[in-house]
Structure 1
């Protein structure tokens, strides 16, 4: 414990996620986890565990065809831990044992949820756990109505629980088998809308959900909540229209993909048949992702909103404002830094995959890399056939995407900022 006190909160979170991934990989390698006649390499087990903890959904082996009930349960638990966050789960256990949450744990919660204050953190964790279980219970009931028509009651219940956990935590895992995801249910309105609902609420962020429940009126919401709601609605509508215009799919399918591409990763149509225009639309949605403090990844809706507002304010020579509030300069700088780091991760990852996987097109590899970074899980179908080095690269990108490039960048800082600084001198820009 003395050693942990000296480690920064960011590094503890990284170590926590890495430890859970490693334990998950070892559990998935156990004979009890693997079905008879199936083999799983350590790289595939590590890839599956990383994808689950990072709530992505990219798979090297089919979850249903490869793993037993025990193995699938391990995957579901990894998704749940990854979605809630290792810190929130740990604090939840502390609360269940009736122990007091210390300053170190509160700092970890603050860091993991990107909060500006340490007030009310324990109440927030309790609310997060209650909201998660409530949404997943509702999702399980609605999903069971659909799956019970095609499976035995016990199998339908297991599939429904797994699907609800995966959907709310924005992870595109399925246990239907045959690498088919939700394609057999592409016309089922109830399952499509249930899945979309779970994805949307899971991607809004727990703070936003709590404000919606407490305040109810848009005018009473904080600036953060207003931005999240507006950007979420905007991306859903624009994504649906663009996908319907570029692909031969139904309006329901277009809306589903517009929702799923924002970090969930479920498919109701085979992406291998999509045009480059459709794949590029999905790539942009995957890169933007969900919202801060949610179960989703990507650069986040608020980051993209801040970028747009900053560009507009520069062009019009005005302050950067939104909903009659001025956006702080440090927020704008953080948004630009985050986007640049994210683009670097995607570009470097795509380049490395292009070298290692010359048989695939650039669009396929860019799509795969962006899906990993955005912790989405959508794929054109190339994931199982990637070489081991490529799977390791994808795993690293998923890890960076889940924790955030800013968090990964700051863990390398060993010294505090010095008080003295150099004199300023302008650099010509543009």
Structure 2
């Protein structure tokens, strides 16, 4: 017999926190001072925008720069920041800033939010996380300012630079340029492209990795297995994806590297996706689905999950030991990775089916890209987002929410207590 437990768990607290911030953001974004004069926004579009911001996705049904006032844009940047750091981290960070002691519940929330394996040093980790975020985003804004000041007045350039830095580091993909075409007009600007790539990369390797590299330096033998895998997989996927884009699209190396980086949950675009070849879109979806490192601002099934599955596949083919970087991989990691991979694939498959069912005019590849992008919290689209009906928008909102929480968090929302002591006998089952 299974008994449903209504107790407050870390997973439920995190899920409720994200939901409340999304709803509050949706309500605020509809207020007149958040919109430009003469602009109206339906609640479903406001909810979609707030969800996309908090889930650091970047999919939009209305152009951000043309719809929202400076106050509305600042609110979206705040929602992105909260979503990127995590509701638990922001809340406990504010408490720590006012010298409030954190109880065990708050510490558990931080641990679960960033997939930490210990309760030790939670406060120190939280402070370093907030400081690192502030420093990186500030440096990114200064670097971007040197580009935007050439086209805008001083304060407008400051606002766009800060927004772009926050969106880039948090892998959100929003822009407030008002052109509705992401970074198309800066396609040939090498400096802004490089700054954006660096911000996306730093946000995507994870706060735990950044903290450990800062603490231990580049003495990789002192790094944990998680840091070694997160950093090495990010580099391999960056250049591996760029090579595939060079083979499938007429990109130069700069464009190939940019899209290889952006596809792993940032969502910035310099070339319309509807001009991509089918192999190029398949490469894009593979990178989106894998995503970034755990504990980062990005989504996807995570680089460590993909790495763990590859190692298990290598074991099955070559019978080599499950060891990498002078560490052995725990058995439980393979089971967890398999579950994450399966749940991610299942979510994308079902959501694509439902999107095509509710929007029959969509082409399969367009719908698949849209739902993969929503689940992996990327923000790239072939251009169908604004044409979705209400059912399609609601479906995308749900998928973005699931993707930001992560499949393991969603799975543990339904906690059951098993009071049955007896078990049926095990028997042989043929696999494969």
TM-score scaled by structure 1? 0.97
TM-score of the aligned structures, taking structure 2 as reference length: 0.97
The match for 1:332 is 334
Given the alignment of the two structures, is residue 191 of structure 1 paired with residue 192 of structure 2, yes or no?
A: yes
Q: For residue 251 of structure 1, what is the aligned residue in structure 2?
A: 253
Is the alpha carbon distance of 1:29 and 1:56 closer, same or farther for their aligned partners in structure 2, counting shifts above 3 Å? same
Alignment match, 1:24: 25
Equivalent residue number for residue 392 of structure 2: 390
Higher RCO (CA-CA < 8 Å; seq separation 6+)? 2
CA 389–308 in structure 1, closer or farther in 2 if over 3 Å, else same: same
Secondary structure, aligned partner of 2:417: coil
1:292-371 maps to which residues of 2 (within 5 A)? Answer: 292-371=294-373
Question: For 1:417 and 1:316, how far apart are their aligned partners in 2?
Answer: 42
Q: For residue 210 of structure 1, report the CA deviation from its aligned partner.
A: 1.3
- 1:275-307 CA deviation, whole Å, 9 max, x = no partner? 111111100000000000000000000000000
Q: CA RMSD of the aligned region, Å?
A: 1.2
Give the total of aligned pairs. 426
The one-character-per-residue Cα deviations of 1:36-69 (angstroms, maximum 9, x if unpaired) are 2222110000000000000000001110100111
Check conservation: 2:26, 2:50, Cα contact below 8 A. Answer: yes
Partner of 1:15, secondary structure, is helix
Give the drift of 1:356: 1.6
Q: 1:416 to 1:111 in 2, by over 3 A?
A: farther
Q: How far does the alpha carbon of each residue in 1:374-412 deviate from its partner, in whole angstroms, 9 at most, with x for none?
A: 100011111011111101101100001001011101111
Aligned 8 A contact 2:355 2:367 in 1? yes
Work out the CA distance in 2 between the residues paired with 1:236 and 1:258: 5
Matched residue, 1:203: 204
2:77–2:163 contact (8 Å) kept in structure 1: yes
Q: How far apart are 1:221 and its partner, in Å?
A: 1.2
Measured against aligned partners, the alpha-carbon deviations of 1:102-131 in whole angstroms (never above 9, x if no partner) come to 111001111111112111111111010000
Alpha-carbon offset, residue 316 of structure 1: 2.1
C-alpha separation in 2, matches of 1:120 and 1:189:
40
Separation in 2 of the partners of 1:200 and 1:418?
47
Q: Which segments of 5 or more consecutive residues in structure 2 lack a partner in the other structure? A: 1-5
Match of 1:161 in 2: 162
**In structure 2, C-alpha distance between the alignment counterparts of 1:110 and 1:154, rounded to whole Å:** 39
Provide the C-alpha distance between the structure 1 equivalents of 2:412 and 2:229, rounded to a whole number of angstroms. 26
Map residues 172-183 of structure 1 onto 2, 5 A cutoff.
Answer: 172-183=173-184
Cα separation, 1, equivalents of 2:192 and 2:102: 39
Tell me how far 1:421 sits from its aligned partner: 4.0
Post-superposition CA distance 1:127-171 (Å, at most 9, x none): 100000010000000000000000001000000000000000000
Farther off after superposition, 353-362 or 411-420 = 411-420
Select 1:267's aligned residue among 243, 266, 269.
269
Indicate the residue corresponding to 1:70 in structure 2.
71
What is the match of residue 33 of structure 1? 34
* Shift in alpha-carbon separation, 1:418–1:329, aligned structure 2, 3 A: farther
Q: Which runs of 5+ in 1 are unaligned?
A: none
Structure 1 SS opposite 2:162: helix
**Residue 296 of structure 1 aligns to a residue in which SS?**
coil
Aligned match of 1:214:
215
Taking the aligned partners of 1:211 and 1:8, their CA distance within structure 2 comes to: 28
1:113 aligns with 2:114: yes
